[in-house]
Amino acid sequence: MQTTQTRITVRLPEPLREGRGDVITMNAASLGDIIAKLDLADDRDELFNFAVNGDLVLHGEKDVALKDGDEVEIVVAFAGG
């Protein structure tokens, strides 16, 4: 039986690369999956936001559904300077 793969391109910011390069791919059905796979879930101080196909997500991020071929970029969340 064939399973559906949701292949996502993820652009990592410098602090999250850890020898992985700046672009990785992974299977993920939602941003919540990416957060879990990158182990970002519980670290409150790691201030990163996600942009899906260039659109920044400001709330409800774990529930944002992804489709095959989506590009996710992780950016430092920063709004005051």
Partner 1 sequence: MSIRARIDALFPRLASEQQFPTQGQTIFVDLERQEIRRAWIPHRVVTALLGGRGVNMFLLHNLLDETLEPIDPEVPLIFGTGILTSMVPSASRGNVTSWSPESRVLMDSNAGDYFPSFMKLNGIDHLVLYGKAPKWTLLHFEGDQPKFVDASPFVGLDNIDLRAKIANDFNGVEGKDYGLAAITTAGENLVLCSGIMAGPKAIYARGGPGAKMGALNLKAVLIQGRSADLSTARPHKLRNRDVAVKLLNTSVVKNALKKRGTPFLYKPSRMLGAMGTKNNQETTWTDKLDAENIDPYRPGMEGCFACPVNCRPLNDMSMLGESGVGSRESESPTTIHDKYVKGDGPEYVTLGKFGPNVGITEVTQVLRLNNICNDLGLDTASTGSAISWAMELYQRGIITREQTQIDLEWGNYETIEQLLFMTAKREGFGDVIADSSQAVAMGKYPAESLAYLMAVKGLTQSDPHDARILKAFALGLAVATRGMDHLRNRVTLEINAKINDSPDFKAELYGGPVSAEPNSYEGKETAVRRCENIYAVGDSVGMCRFTTKLFNSPSLPGYEEFADQVANVTGIELTNEAIDHIGLNVMGVERLINAKLGITRADDTLPKRWFEEAIGVGPYKGEKIDRGEFDKMLSRFYAISNLTEEGVPTPEWREELEGVLTA
In the complex, minimum distance from the CB of residue 74 to partner 1, in angstroms, rounded to a whole number? 11
Contact residue for partner 1 among 18, 19, 21, 45 (CB under 8 A): 45
Which residues is 8 bridged to in the sheet? 26
In the complex, minimum distance from the CB of residue 65 to partner 1, in angstroms, rounded to a whole number? 14
In the complex, minimum distance from the CB of residue 38 to partner 1, in angstroms, rounded to a whole number? 13
For 33, residues 6+ apart whose C-beta sits below 8 A from its C-beta are 27, 66
Are the C-beta atoms of residues 18 and 39 closer than 8 Å to each other?
Answer: no
71-76 vs 48-52, strand pairing mode: antiparallel
Interface residues with partner 1 (CB under 8 A)? Answer: 13-15, 44-51, 54-62, 73, 75-81
